[in-house]
Amino acid sequence: MSAAGEPALRVRSLGHSYPGDPPVAALDEIDLEAARGAFVSLLGPSGCGKSTVLQVLAGLLAPSRGEAAVDGASTIGEPGLTAYMPQRDLLLPWRRVEGNATLGAEVAGVAREEARARARELYPRFGLEGFERAWPAQLSGGMRQRLALLRTFLMPRETLLLDEPFGALDAHTRRGMQGWLQDVWGRDGRTVLLVTHDVDEALLLSDVVYVMSPRPGRIVERIAVPLPRPRHGADVTAEVFVALKARVLAALETPGAGAVE
C-alpha cells in the first residue's frame, strides 16, 4: 500500500538500451507517475519504448538505469507487483474460459475455488456470462480481449498495466470496448497505466496522458484531461476534447514521429 500522498506508480530517470551492434537506445530519462486510483495513458508512435516502460514496471525487464516503483516498492528484478496484460491476449487454447480467467490469480497464490468464485461474480460485468465452459477458439475478438482483461482484473494487485489491449480489434468493436473498460474501471477503482497509440482512446479514458517522443523515448508533455465522467464516443466532437487532441498532436509532431491514429 502506498503511504499517504505517495503515487501508486512512479518512474524516475528511466533509461534503457537493448544490446546489439550498435546498441538500440529505447528510453532516455523517462519520468512519470500515477496517483492511486487514476487512469493514466502513455501515448506515442510505434517503437518509442512504451511497451518497454510497462515491462520494467511489470518486473520483466531490468533497465539500464533509473528507478521504477509500485506502492513504493522497486519493480526492478521483482515481477508480480502489478497485474500486466501484454498486447496479445495469450489465452491458453486447452483451457476453457473459466480456466483462462483464473490462471493469473492462481499463479499469484489465490486458491482455485476462491478465484473461480470471484470470476463468477464478474462474468456478467465482462460480458462473458454463459460462456464459462467455452473454448477460446469459440470466442469473438472482443470476447477474447474481455477474457484477457478479466484475467488481469482477477490478479490480486492494485495496479494494472495494459499494453494496447484493443489494438487488434476493428474500429467499431474498439470503441465499444473503450466504453466498457471505462465502466469496469470506474466500479473497480484501481490504478491503470494504459499504453496506446490512439489519441482519441487516450483522451476518452484517461485522467492524465503522457506523450512520448520517437525512440529513444522521452516524455515530451504531460496533459491532464479535465473532462467529466462518464465519457462517450460523442465527446470527441466537444470543443474541449478537440483542443486537447490538438495539444497532443502538436506534442507528437517531432521529426520522425511516425503515424498515430
CATH of the domain at 252: 3.40.50.300
Same domain, yes or no: 119 and 211: no
Last residue within a domain, chosen from 156, 191, 206: 156
Same domain, yes or no: 4 and 76: yes
Last residue within a domain, chosen from 156, 182, 201: 156
- Residue 11 has a pLDDT of 96
- Residue 258 has a pLDDT of 43
Residues 6+ apart with CB under 8 A from 250: none
Please say whether the beta carbons of 76 and 14 come within 8 A.
no
Tell the residue number behind the cell numbers 533509473, with chain if given.
66
Distance CA 146, CA 139 (A): 10
- Domains identified in the chain, total number: 2
- Number of separate helices (H) and strands (E) present in the chain: 7, 10
Tell the residue number behind the cell numbers 461474480, with chain if given.
121
Same domain, yes or no: 64 and 139: no
- Residue 186 has a pLDDT of 86
- Containing domain of residue 120, as a range? 90-156
Last residue within a domain, chosen from 134, 156, 178: 156
What pTM does this model have? 0.90
Please identify every stretch of the chain with a pLDDT value under 70, giving residue numbers as ranges. Answer: 1-5, 254-261
Same domain, yes or no: 44 and 151: no
Same domain, yes or no: 167 and 243: yes
Q: How many CA atoms lie within 13 A of 184 on its CB side?
A: 21
Same domain, yes or no: 40 and 77: yes
Please say whether the beta carbons of 133 and 97 come within 8 A.
yes
Distance CA 4, CA 44 (A): 31
